[in-house]
Amino acid sequence: MNQFDHELDARGLNCPLPILRAKKLLGTMTTGEIVKIMATDPGAVKDFEAFAKQTGNELLDSIEVEGEFHFTLKKLT
């Protein structure tokens, strides 16, 4: 499992809130830092894939754990 610098709990939030909260947090992070995001919205999988591509950040990991979706995102920009 990847190490991370920040953790964002977006469980119970529906689209687009997990992305919006991640975007806000990424704005406070420095390049190279990693955030782990936990969400329960199944739509978050495609949302975070698209978000990473659009923002130029790297989606390191995307897994489902007991009905939750865990993402690891590295800030590159």
Cα–Cα dist 73/37, whole Å:
8
Beta bridge pairs of residue 54? none
**13 is a catalytic site residue:** no
Can you tell me which residue has the tokens 């990693």? 34
Write out the catalytic residue numbers: 15
